Amino acid sequence: MKIQEALSFVERLFVAAGCSSNHAKIVADVLVAAETRGIPSHGLMRIIDYLGMLEAGKINVNPNVKIIHETVSTAVVDGDSCFGMIAGTMAMELAIEKAKKAGTGWVAVRNSNHYGIAGYYAMMALKFDMTGISMTHANPLIAPTFSVSRMLGTNPIAVAMPTKNQPPFIADFATTPVARGKLAIKEQRGEKIVSGLVQDSEGNQSCDPSIITRGGAILPLGSDYEHGSHKGYCMTAIVDLFSSIFSGASFGPFVPPQVPYLKPKENAPGKGMGHFFGAISCDAFQPVDEFKGNMDLWIETFRASIPTKNFEKVLIPGDPERLFEEKTKREGITIIPEIEKNIKEIAVKYRVDY
Amino acid sequence: MKIQEALSFVERLFVAAGCSSNHAKIVADVLVAAETRGIPSHGLMRIIDYLGMLEAGKINVNPNVKIIHETVSTAVVDGDSCFGMIAGTMAMELAIEKAKKAGTGWVAVRNSNHYGIAGYYAMMALKFDMTGISMTHANPLIAPTFSVSRMLGTNPIAVAMPTKNQPPFIADFATTPVARGKLAIKEQRGEKIVSGLVQDSEGNQSCDPSIITRGGAILPLGSDYEHGSHKGYCMTAIVDLFSSIFSGASFGPFVPPQVPYLKPKENAPGKGMGHFFGAISCDAFQPVDEFKGNMDLWIETFRASIPTKNFEKVLIPGDPERLFEEKTKREGITIIPEIEKNIKEIAVKYRVDY
């Protein structure tokens, strides 16, 4: 499917579901960006859950997204139960506006929902010669080091930094060793996984990808204490705190599920799902040209580091996604047949041409 | 040794070495804080290298630490080859001042040196009802995923967040699975280490802690690609970029060594070692009382998560250091005999009573 066709389809679908044309365009842009960058787990396969959430009354299709507090360099945005992309893009635009005046801008969001790929928002800062930061918490699936309780999500961070002639530095990663989606794929295929990714209900490491459906949990980055899992736990906890305490959203085990068939925890403290965004103007620290030139030098230096014998070259954060993007821009995106079947059914239901 | 005695000794020693009384007090405070918090690798054992660097003319004992650029929420500080603590405390104080006015403050430092424990600076923000952030790059010992080249340091991050009745949340961790100092101790004892911490000169994982003295490298957090080491590599790279590109310091493989017997790389781009600091006022986002109350609730919730059977309770970032601090405040600090011997020799050399 060509990228333009995908954008048009998703936009028409979300308009049919009740979104304004502007909001539908934003949702489409973020979902299709995931497909073009090779992260299909955050792409069109999410449409089913998104519309399911909407039908279940958990997402507000006509939200009043508003700033509820601000200072020179900060703001808090309430998403009014919107699609995460709506609050996300508005918050990142606001962070950029603040950075133009104050050097940096920092915006926390609450009452939001799944916002797609973290990198999308971080990358918005690049064309303003700014570093962009984006993070969000997610459904609790991770047990802290020494625990069997699922307290934290796969909580991604994205950092995008502008360059001169090199492609930009774009790190966009879950702070955990594995994502839920990858476990599901392994489970469907009946495959085992390496140890160090999940544990069973008693806290023993497991090679069974389905163990998290039976009281197990995903491990923090580092896998176990001897390999620094307490550091991975710290990182994931910091993303949760920044997404919840600054914004007033629910935290950790209380983050509302992003699928229609799971109920949110009762009496959860805080308001819905949260995100945190930052924009840092290059010229708040260095002359823009020098900043971007030094970024080039950093990338060239790291690209020239010696690869291990089985690998051609050392990767710079953002390389794999950019290469995938170049391919999809030429060849279009490929939707897995199973997902395509579901999407076609939805298209019929909402009377939209696929 | 009582804490007050340690502070007094280090202060007198650094005055004897040529520091102003004020600067010596700051260096002493940071080094002794490492001892009281149970991080002796960043404590008094560093005195030898610090004074060695000074004697070798690599540290400036009378630095002109100055702000070279600033905006409403940001600044760049040049440390003039000072002890890292001098630029570090000044930069963090500046970040706090900016946060009082602009909601947040962000200060990058260049031309600095080893600054001790990252957490010290982050914790400075707590008494102003602010979140403190501190990070620094370090000597290159880490190979990126798929590489055999040592490109990055153990690059720590510290985040301190204020609370109401609970002790503050204080995460202070190297972004790598193991620190250089721990490998050295294992090597001295003739012990092997678990695989997943270091690799040999060809990129094969190794259990030999001395391998990094023979062309090996420390692995990123996550150990290998299957366990998410590319995410650990991203984290460590981000700390390096924030410490160098924002400040104009040298980056990655060019970070100057912090021991007198290693030469800095010739023609290194950028100026010396760099750090990055942030201060975020609670009330830039939420009413202070609500922010701190929610922090308490987060901590209480995580502390109540179910531990694995061999453990008594789940730890909150900052717990181990706080418990150690309570002990050292009662009982004083313990210096390893070998280190104490070295320090006594230095005391004689500088004619300071130990």
CATH architecture for the domain at B1-62+319-354: Orthogonal Bundle (1.10)
B151 chain-A contacts, CB cut-off 8 A: 301-302, 305
CATH class given for the domain over A178-218: alpha beta
CB A150 within 8 A of CB A143: yes
The answer to whether A152 and B311 are in contact (CB under 8 A) is no
CB-based contact, A47 to chain B, within 8 Å? no
Kindly give, in sequence order, each residue whose CB lies less than 8 Å from that of residue A57, ignoring residues fewer than 6 positions away: none
Give the span between the Cα atoms of B276 and B292, in whole angstroms. 25
For A63-174+226-317, CATH gives 3.30.1370.60
Instruction: Provide, as residue numbers in chain B, all residues whose Cβ is less than 8 Å from the Cβ of A270.
Output: 294
CATH 3.30.1370.60 domain position(s) in chain A? 63-174+226-317
The pLDDT, as a whole number, for residue B117 is 96
Residues 192-211 of A with CB under 8 A from B: 194, 196-197, 202-203
Q: Most A CBs within 10 Å: which of B224, B231, B233, as the mutation test of the A interface?
A: B231
What is the rounded CA–CA span in Å between residue A76 and residue A79? 10
Nearest residue to B121 via CA among B86, B153, B83: B86
Residue B165, strand partner residues: none
Tens digit of each residue's pLDDT (9 = 90 or more) over A33-58: 999 999 988 999 999 999 999 999 99
Asked if residues B158 and B170 have their Cβ atoms less than 8 Å apart, the reply is: yes
Task: Compare CB distances from B102 to A71, A196, A311 and report the shortest one's residue.
Answer: A71
Q: In which residue ranges of chain B is CATH 3.30.60.50 found?
A: 178-218
What is the mean predicted confidence (pLDDT) over A143-152? 96
Distance CA A163, CA A159 (A): 13
- Residue contact B284–A222, C-beta within 8 A: no
> Does B189 lie at the interface with A, CB-CB under 8 angstroms?
no
Residue spans in chain B of domains classed CATH 3.30.1370.60: 64-176+225-317
Predicted local distance difference test score (pLDDT) of residue B113: 97
Nearest Cα neighbor of A111 from A74, A68, A82 is: A82
Spatial neighbors of A329 by CB under 8 A, at least 6 apart, are A3, A36
What would the 3-class secondary structure string for B97-146 be?
A: HHHHHHCEEEEEEEEECCCCCHHHHHHHCHHHCEEEEEEECCCCCECCCC
Say how far apart CA A48 and CA A342 lie, in whole Å. 8
Q: How far is A178 from chain B (nearest CA, A)?
A: 7
Are A108 and A276 in contact, with CB atoms under 8 Å apart? Answer: yes
A198-199: strand order across its sheet: A205-206, A198-199, A217-218
- What is the share, in percent, of chain A residues with pLDDT greater than 70? 100
Per DSSP, the three-state class of A250 is coil
ipTM of predicted assembly, 2 dp: 0.97
Choose the CATH number for B64-176+225-317 among 3.40.640.10, 3.30.1370.60, 1.10.357.10, 3.20.20.330. Answer: 3.30.1370.60
Average pLDDT of chain A is: 96
pLDDT digits (tens, 9 = 90+) for A115-129: 999 999 999 999 999
Question: How close A9 comes to chain B (CA, Å)?
Answer: 33
pLDDT, tens only, B134-178 = 999 999 999 999 999 999 999 999 999 999 999 999 999 999 999
Residues spanned by CATH 1.10.1530.10 within chain A? 1-62+322-354
Q: Are strands A130-136 and A156-161 parallel, antiparallel or unpaired?
A: antiparallel
Cβ within 8 Å, pair A314-B284: no
pTM listed for this prediction: 0.98
- Asked if CATH classification 1.10.1530.10 holds for the domain at A1-62+322-354, the reply, yes or no, is yes
Residue B126 near chain A (CB below 8 Å): no
* A chain contacts of residue B194, beta-carbon cutoff 8 Å: 226-227
Residue B309 pLDDT grade (very low, low, confident, very high; cuts 50, 70, 90):
confident
Residues of A in contact with B97 (CB under 8 A): none
In the predicted structure, residue A336 carries a pLDDT above the cut 90? no
Q: Determine the average pLDDT of the residues in B246-272.
A: 94
Instruction: Note whether A103 contacts B: Cβ–Cβ < 8 A.
Output: yes
Q: Is A288 on the interface with B (CB under 8 A)?
A: no
Q: Note whether B50 contacts A: Cβ–Cβ < 8 A.
A: no
Burial B58-67 (b: 16+ CB within 10 A, else e): bbbbebebee
Q: What is the mean pLDDT of residues A298-310?
A: 94
- Chain A residues in contact with B237 by the CB 8 A cut-off are 169, 171, 302, 317
C-beta neighbour count of A21 within 10 angstroms: 10
Sheet holding A74-78, edge to edge: A66-70, A74-78, A104-112, A273-281, A130-136, A156-161, A169-174
Taking contacts as CB-CB distances below 8 angstroms, the residues of chain A near B244 are 294, 298
